[in-house]
């Protein structure tokens, strides 16, 4: 047996030692690399953070320049400026005006600066700024060793100074006058929002293609004021009919939307002649000063020099010009007089046209302090006590309204093929503050606390059961199957159908009972603000709207086309605010 001990050779120990040394060095090198990477990453994160802060300074500087220059961009070559905004420039982008401000930060071997070019976008009351912030790492001689850039984007908005003046509802859309401009929201297939967008194409069979929602808007959009049309003009009045609207500015009329029957008044008509921007009404109104406008269905009307002019569809002579042919007038024509004592006198002076009227083929006006109506009349909407006139091609006197008429409104759902499905009603307000309604009453829209009679051929005074005795009625507005009013106490009351929340009292939906007397619209946390007063109302179609003393607009009722303007398509049973029409404080959003 060999009891000798095995001995390790010196060479083996040396190799093992060298191997372990290599491993340890590798580990140490790896740790060094990690630490170095962490250090470098930390440094770079710090440099990028400095660049971001410099970019923030750039957006703040741009915001200040916008504020002192009427919210207009004044820098960069695109806007007539000299160059981009930098720390040493003025608001025109002229560099080195403030040489001491060459850098945002100067600290050791670090320098930061910013550069602001053209705005990403600039729209009414809002803009988005992009600023590039930069960090320079320099050596002792000032030479740049490394550069770090980051882009900062900021959204800003300004005080809009909006003052709501009037709101009105057409079929599937709503429009409002806000500080002399028109804003609309809802459906837009034929350009009825007036913002330069529309659908309305024909397929190979000559029929309209299915509508796309891509052109609609659930929030208010501004009607364009193109040069040579509305540019620089303040809008004073507006109406919204079925698929078109018209505005009054500086005594002239401008219309947009559907034009199948010539209702835009520009001498054209046809299924593809719609306009998605306002166009000026031509013809006999040239050289005249228009004082009032109104419309319904596919018809438009204006008063100039006390006389009434109409254009658009002449279905069954409903344009009021007398003859039943042609079936349309593409430019204004003065209304007719050929029905004896019931007709307008030849020396009449008209002062107002009926409001609302989204889709009926009946129209009313005030002349010599009395109400006159024309068009379809089967459900009594002409106010003819003989109950014999089913339609009339010239204006006739509404019988049975005591006193002087100061406002008239009408709306409803007609049958353009036959007279068997008319549901149109009208209401008038007198100088004594009393309201009288006539026509269709199937949903209690006459406000007489009963749905009987189904049609009233004579005006009937509405019930005041829920209106305080001391309040007088200041304005009225009719919808298709409902009506609203505003009192001297600045309260809104509605009555009639309530299937889509048209009454605004918190109830609604299919099967909801009709409201037969004027009922208050909800005020408070879930309604009209209790600390504000209502200055104006609008109805039409299946909605109601109120403009408040602070310029905000609230609407209620049908909303399947986004016509309430709250960025939803949910029917509203109480008033909700129309978005982006609310005056806001100047804010810079970080």
Partners of 85 in beta bridges: 116
Say if residue 50's pLDDT is above 80: yes
The mean pLDDT value for 147-169 works out to 80
Say if residue 457's pLDDT is above 90: yes
pLDDT value at position 586? Answer: 37
Note the helical H segments in 69-129. Answer: none
Say if residue 13's pLDDT is above 60: yes
Average predicted confidence (pLDDT) for the chain: 87
Tell how many helices (H) and how many strands (E) occur in the chain. 1, 35
Q: For residue 580, give the nearest of 121, 158, 62 by alpha carbon.
A: 158
Query: What is the number of other CB atoms lying within 10 angstroms of the CB of residue 331?
Result: 18
Ramachandran angles phi, psi of 467, nearest 5°: -100, 125
pLDDT value at position 6? Answer: 47
* Better-scored residue on pLDDT, 263 or 120: 263
pLDDT value at position 552? Answer: 84
Question: Which H/E stretch holds residue 46?
Answer: helix 10-68
Which conformational region is residue 557 in: left (phi greater than 0), alpha (psi within -120 to 50 degrees), or beta?
left
Compute the half-sphere exposure of residue 448: CA atoms within 13 Å on the CB side of its CA.
21
Partners of 426 in beta bridges: 410, 438
What is the C-alpha to C-alpha distance for residues 242 and 348, in angstroms, rounded to an integer?
29
The mean pLDDT value for 502-515 works out to 96
- Which residues contact residue 355 at a Cβ distance below 8 angstroms, ignoring those fewer than 6 apart? 168, 239, 294, 407, 408, 409, 476, 477, 478, 538, 540
Say if residue 227's pLDDT is above 70: yes
Chain-centroid distance of CA 343 in Å reads 39
* Better-scored residue on pLDDT, 309 or 212: 309
pLDDT value at position 128? Answer: 87
pLDDT tens figures, 364-391: 999 999 999 999 888 899 998 876 777 8
Say if residue 1's pLDDT is above 50: no
Residue 261 burial (10 A CB sphere; 0-12, 13-18, 19+): buried
Percent of all residues in the chain with a pLDDT value above 90, rounded to a whole number:
58
Dihedral (CA of 564, 566, 569, 574) sign = negative
What is the C-alpha to C-alpha distance for residues 571 and 270, in angstroms, rounded to an integer?
33
* Better-scored residue on pLDDT, 71 or 441: 441
CB-based contact 51:43 (threshold 8 Å): no
Say if residue 33's pLDDT is above 50: yes
Paired tokens of 483? 């009506």
The mean pLDDT value for 281-303 works out to 96
Say if residue 2's pLDDT is above 50: no
CB-based contact 331:267 (threshold 8 Å): yes
Q: Which of the four pLDDT bands, split at 50, 70 and 90, describes residue 4?
A: very low
Q: Which of the four pLDDT bands, split at 50, 70 and 90, describes residue 588?
A: very low
pLDDT tens figures, 233-263: 999 999 999 999 999 999 999 999 999 999 9
Q: For residue 217, give the nearest of 239, 194, 240 by alpha carbon.
A: 194
* Better-scored residue on pLDDT, 392 or 586: 392
Paired tokens of 560? 């399947």
Chain-centroid distance of CA 550 in Å reads 17
Q: Reading across the β-sheet that carries 391-397, which strands appear in turn?
A: 350-353, 362-367, 370-376, 391-397
Residue 283 burial (10 A CB sphere; 0-12, 13-18, 19+): middle
pLDDT value at position 101? Answer: 84
Distances (CA, A) of 26 to 21, 23, 34, 373, 475: 8, 5, 12, 99, 90
Query: What is the number of other CB atoms lying within 10 angstroms of the CB of residue 490?
Result: 16
Q: Which of the four pLDDT bands, split at 50, 70 and 90, describes residue 41?
A: low
Q: Is the peptide bond prior to 453 cis by the omega test (within 30 degrees of 0)?
A: yes
What is the C-alpha to C-alpha distance for residues 519 and 573, in angstroms, rounded to an integer?
13
Greatest Cα-to-Cα distance within the chain, rounded to the nearest angstrom: 151
Dihedral (CA of 476, 479, 483, 485) sign = negative
Q: For residue 396, give the nearest of 375, 422, 419, 410 by alpha carbon.
A: 375
Partners of 309 in beta bridges: 302, 334
Partners of 132 in beta bridges: 115, 151
Weakest-pLDDT range from 77-81, 353-357, 374-378, 516-520: 77-81
pLDDT value at position 121? Answer: 76
pLDDT tens figures, 544-575: 999 988 888 899 999 998 999 888 999 999 99
Strand ranges for 117-195 from DSSP E: 121-123, 126-138, 144-157, 164-170, 173-178, 181-186
CB-based contact 581:124 (threshold 8 Å): no
Distances (CA, A) of 266 to 259, 297, 304: 9, 17, 17
Please provide the distance, in angstroms rounded to a whole number, between the alpha carbons at the two ends of the chain. Answer: 90
pLDDT tens figures, 297-334: 999 999 999 999 999 999 888 899 988 899 999 999 99
pLDDT tens figures, 413-437: 876 665 556 789 999 999 999 999 9
What is the C-alpha to C-alpha distance for residues 96 and 557, in angstroms, rounded to an integer?
59
CB-based contact 272:262 (threshold 8 Å): no
- Which residues contact residue 174 at a Cβ distance below 8 angstroms, ignoring those fewer than 6 apart? 167, 168, 184, 185, 186, 240, 538, 543, 545, 555, 563, 564, 565, 578
pTM of the model: 0.73
What is the C-alpha to C-alpha distance for residues 590 and 579, in angstroms, rounded to an integer?
22
CB-based contact 556:544 (threshold 8 Å): yes
């Amino acid at each position: 047996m060999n009891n000798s001990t095995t001995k390790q050779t010196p060479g083996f120990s040396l190799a093992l030692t060298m191997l372990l040394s290599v491993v340890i060095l590798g580990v140490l090198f790896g740790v060094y690399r990690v630490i170095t990477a962490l250090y470098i990453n930390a440094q770079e994160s710090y440099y990028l953070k400095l660049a971001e802060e410099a970019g923030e300074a750039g957006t703040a500087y741009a915001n200040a320049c916008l504020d002192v220059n009427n919210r207009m961009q004044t820098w960069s070559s695109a806007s007539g400026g000299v160059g981009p905004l930098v720390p040493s420039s003025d608001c025109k982008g002229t560099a080195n005006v403030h040489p001491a401000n060459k850098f945002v930060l100067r600290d050791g071997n670090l320098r930061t600066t910013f550069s602001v070019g053209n705005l990403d976008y600039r729209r009414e009351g809002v803009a988005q700024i992009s600023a590039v912030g930069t960090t320079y790492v320099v050596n002792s001689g000032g030479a740049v060793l490394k550069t770090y850039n980051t882009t900062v984007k900021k959204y800003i908005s300004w005080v809009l100074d909006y003052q709501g003046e009037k709101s009105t509802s057409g079929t599937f859309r709503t429009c409002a006058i806000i500080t002399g401009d028109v804003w609309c929201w809802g459906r837009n297939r034929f350009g009825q929002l007036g913002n330069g967008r529309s659908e309305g194409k024909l397929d190979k069979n000559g029929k309209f293609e299915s509508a796309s929602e891509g052109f609609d808007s659930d929030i208010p959009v501004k009607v364009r004021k193109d040069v040579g049309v509305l540019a620089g003009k303040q809008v004073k009045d507006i109406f919204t009919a079925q698929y078109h609207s018209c505005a009054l500015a500086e005594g002239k009329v401008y219309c947009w939307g559907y034009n199948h029957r010539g209702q835009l008044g520009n001498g054209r008509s046809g299924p593809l002649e719609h306009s998605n921007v306002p166009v000026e009404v031509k013809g006999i109104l040239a050289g005249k000063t228009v004082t009032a406008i109104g419309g319904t269905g596919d018809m438009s009307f204006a008063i100039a020099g006390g006389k009434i002019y109409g254009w658009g569809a002449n279905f069954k002579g409903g344009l009021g010009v007398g003859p039943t042919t042609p079936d349309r007038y593409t430019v204004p024509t003065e209304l007719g007089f050929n029905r004896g004592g019931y007709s307008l006198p030849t020396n009449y002076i008209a002062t107002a046209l009926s409001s609302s009227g989204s889709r009926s083929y009946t129209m009313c006006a005030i002349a010599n302090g009395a109400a006159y109506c024309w068009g379809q009349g089967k459900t009594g909407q002409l106010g003819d006590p003989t109950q014999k006139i089913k339609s009339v091609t010239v204006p006739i006197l509404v019988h049975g309204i005591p006193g002087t008429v100061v406002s008239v409104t009408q709306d409803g759902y007609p049958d353009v093929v036959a007279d068997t499905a008319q549901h149109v009603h009208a209401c008038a307000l007198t100088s004594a503050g009393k309201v009288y309604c006539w026509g269709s009453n199937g949903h209690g829209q006459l406000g007489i606390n009963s749905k009987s009679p189904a049609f009233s051929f004579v005006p009937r005074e509405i019930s005041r059961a829920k209106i305080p005795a001391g309040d007088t009625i200041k304005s009225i507005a009719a919808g298709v199957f409902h009506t609203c009013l505003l009192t001297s106490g600045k309260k809104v009351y509605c009555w009639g159908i309530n299937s889509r929340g048209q009454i605004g009292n918190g109830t609604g939906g299919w099967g909801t009972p009709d409201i037969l007397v004027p009922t208050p619209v909800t005020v408070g946390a879930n309604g009209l603000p209790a600390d504000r007063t209502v200055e104006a109302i609008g109805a039409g179609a299946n909605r109601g709207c109120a403009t408040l003393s602070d310029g905000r607009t609230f609407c209620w009722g049908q909303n399947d086309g986004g016509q309430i303007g709250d960025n939803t398509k949910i029917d509203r049973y109480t008033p909700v605010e129309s978005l982006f029409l609310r005056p806001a404080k100047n804010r810079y959003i970080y």
